[in-house]
Structure 1
Amino acid sequence: MNYSDALLRDVLNRTKRIAVVGVSSNPVRPSYFVARYLTLKGYDVVPVNPGIAGQKLFGKIAVGSLEEIEGGVDMVDIFRRSEAVPEIVASALAAFPALGTIWMQLGVQHDAAAAQAEARGVTVIQDRCPKIEYQRLFGELRMGGFATGIISSKL
């Protein structure tokens, strides 16, 4: 999947509230540290996982499903296996009429569900991580010595 840096930057800039589906309360799990990182960057992260519903994570009470979220979200970030994506996308489209983005994590993709969301005007990103893209696009990877492919006069 090829996504332009402009598209990824636009999604990350316009997004304010993110539902992270499949987030773990275990701090060594990728879903935990990605959701925590997004919280530290100022995003309003809503943890979604029926196994930890009612627990506090990143200052928020985890919910068991997207339908339990009060108010809308701008992005649904999916940390589940690809075969779970169609049900999650259907729930997201039903629960959030103004949804802007469905983001599927590294290794997660489902073309039919993506097409369904895109037909409703939702931006879909597959097989990418918003934490990695944020760090790459906004200069944080450069601080760790990684070549980001972004030319900048910023040190």
Structure 2
Amino acid sequence: MPTQDPNCIRNILTSVRTIALVGASEKTHRPSHEVMVFMQAHGYRVIPVNPRLAGQQLLGEAVYADITALPEPVDMVELFLAPERTDAVIDQAIELKVPIIWMQIGVINEEGAARAEAAGVTVVMDLCPKQEIPRQGIPPIGSGE
């Protein structure tokens, strides 16, 4: 069962440093863009993933077509995708042994979450880190607090 436990959420957000944001958008009004800006401002490295933008730059980071193309491991995969488009990414994350999959608000895939958890992946579903960071009182990475 995907975690909603505040202590687990806090542990994730204080230990994760590198995030692959799947469904990243160059459109500033899109929630994925807003979350990427917020997470970068809080000290996280956010690598955008979007096949339409692959090879371009977004907010200072190279954009990749999918998580299998990432040049380095990530601590978490964050999904801004329609639920019916998440299975392939969940399976790639399992194969790559990404420790955490975070599905954004409204991105619900119970079967995919169960598959990931059975493979030892921690899954967060139907929450937003941009909301959870202030709710948990988590300071920016490197702020010394």
- Asked if these proteins are the same fold (TM beyond 0.5), I'd say yes
Deviation beyond 2 Å, 4+ runs, structure 1: none
Measured after TM superposition, the shift of residue 76 of structure 1 is: 0.3
What's 1:17 paired with?
18
What's 2:51 paired with?
50
Measured after TM superposition, the shift of residue 27 of structure 1 is: 0.6
Q: Deviations over 1:77-119 (max 9, x none)?
A: 000000011111011122x22x221000010111111011101
Give the stretch that moved more between structures: 55-64 or 71-80: 55-64
Distance 2:119 2:17 in 1: 20
What's 2:116 paired with?
117
What's 2:82 paired with?
81
Q: Would you say the 8 A contact 2:3–2:123 is kept in 1?
A: no
Residue ranges of structure 2 left out of the alignment (5+ in a row)? 140-145
State how many pairs are aligned: 138
TM-score (norm. length: structure 1) = 0.85
Residue ranges of structure 1 left out of the alignment (5+ in a row)? 141-155
**Cα separation, partners in 2 of 1:139 and 1:92, compared to 1, 3 Å:** closer
> What percent of counterpart residues are identical?
37
- Structure with the greater alpha carbon radius of gyration: 1
If asked which structure has higher relative contact order (CA below 8 Å, sep 6+), I would say 2
TM-score (norm. length: structure 2) = 0.90
Partner AA of 2:105 in structure 1: L
